[in-house]
Amino acid sequence: MRRLLRWAAVAIAALLAVPILVAMTEPPAPVTTAEFMLPGEEDADMRLVRQAQAAIAEHALPDRFFKRDAHAKPHGCVTAWLDVDPDLDARFRAGVFARPGWRYLAWVRFSNGTQPDDRTADARGMAIKLMDVDGPKLLTKQAEPRTQDFVMINYHTFFLRDVFEYERFFAFQAADRPFAYFVGWNPFRWQLRELWHATHMMYQRVPSPLATRYYSMSAYRLGGANVKFSAAPCRDQPSGTPPTSRGPNYLREALVAGLRAGDACFDFLVQAQDPQKEMPIEDPSVEWREADVPYVRIARLEIPRQEFDSDAQNRFCENLSFSPWHTLEDHRPLGNLNRARRAVYQGVSTRRHVRNAASAGEPHGWCLDLSGAPCPS
């Protein structure tokens, strides 16, 4: 009997091995240097906007306060500056990096991905807003406001291939059944590779927002190159002492403690696409391997020692908007999921600011003013 059970177990394992290997195989993705529009993509974008706006309306029912659909919980908004490397490689001298050695004032917002409790495993976000950036932006087609955004998360690869997969996943997530999207009754249709990236992205625990590395995940232009961005903690910086007791807001507490103790910094990095490698721009679920093309530093983000956890600054932080499309042409977001983000981010931002009767302006400095007025000198 034992031998029969052993053989049965081996047979079942062999039967499952094939669909599991199929599910784990990375599908071929066309590697191009130019974007291409998917049939039906624009209609899917509009459906996602409606779904996202409905989601924030539902989440606002308890207190009538409209929050972001993602990265709703901030750990804080802090002042910073971005220093472009003085000896920057000529191929990366474009957009805000066109002038080596230039310094920009900045705001940096740290956040959770989806969870209100910091103790719950989650993705963590970093959004950077540079100021005094001349030139028309893709959202407004005008030189005002003079700001530029970079939006990142602390994982290198997205778990969905395109806007249609995102739309299907959104429906499972809205029904509180996200796991069912990846694993159903048919093992040949399991999406284990996507599940691998999703779990690694969404189920992270970090000691401090200052002690984790952030990535753009999707591709962007940088002058004549296609790149991905990353922000890595400087190797020689102390990250402060994490709170000894981890409560629901321990990441904010760690950020407060870290910046009360001293300065912090991140190396701002880029990874340039090599079209001869498996580095597609339309499929962000395919990892751009650092073994193929390493990241290189192009700037440093300096966050000075500061106190930021005040009611006024927290209100200012809540009203700030960040979008990968609030950018110069030289940093254009690439790929169909980035194109969907343009409509979704704009639709959600407009809805929440209108419903909250909040200012939707951009900062002109480190003062807490979104009216458009310049900060006092």
Alpha-carbon distances of 347 from 45, 47, 350, rounded to whole Å: 11, 11, 5
Q: Whole-angstrom distance between the N-terminal and C-terminal Cα of the chain?
A: 85
Instruction: Mark the ranges of the chain whose per-residue pLDDT is less than 50.
Output: 5, 8-23
Q: List, in order, residues 6 or more apart from 280 with CB less than 8 Å away.
A: 29, 30, 31, 32, 286
Short-list 101, 99, 118, 105, CA closest to 249: 118
Among the listed residues 125, 124, 127, the one whose alpha carbon sits nearest the alpha carbon of residue 108: 127
Closest CA to 24 of 165, 202, 166, 182: 182
Provide the pLDDT for residue 65: 84
Q: What pLDDT, on the 0 to 100 scale, is given for residue 63?
A: 83
Residue 333 CA, distance from chain mean position? 12
- Domain 26-160+191-355 sits in CATH at 2.40.180.10
Domain assignments of the chain as residue spans, ordered by start: 26-160+191-355
Full-model pTM: 0.91
Residue 213: predicted pLDDT:
97
Say if CB 336 and CB 41 are below 8 A apart. Answer: yes
Tokens found for residue 334: 């690439």
pLDDT of residue 279: 96
Residue 109: per-residue pLDDT: 98
What per-residue confidence (pLDDT) applies to 26? 60
* Alpha-carbon gap, residue 43 to 50, rounded angstroms: 11
CB atoms within 10 A of CB 62: 7
Q: Could you give the CA distance from residue 58 to residue 42 in angstroms, rounded to a whole number? A: 25
Phi, psi angles (nearest 5°) of residue 3: -65, -40
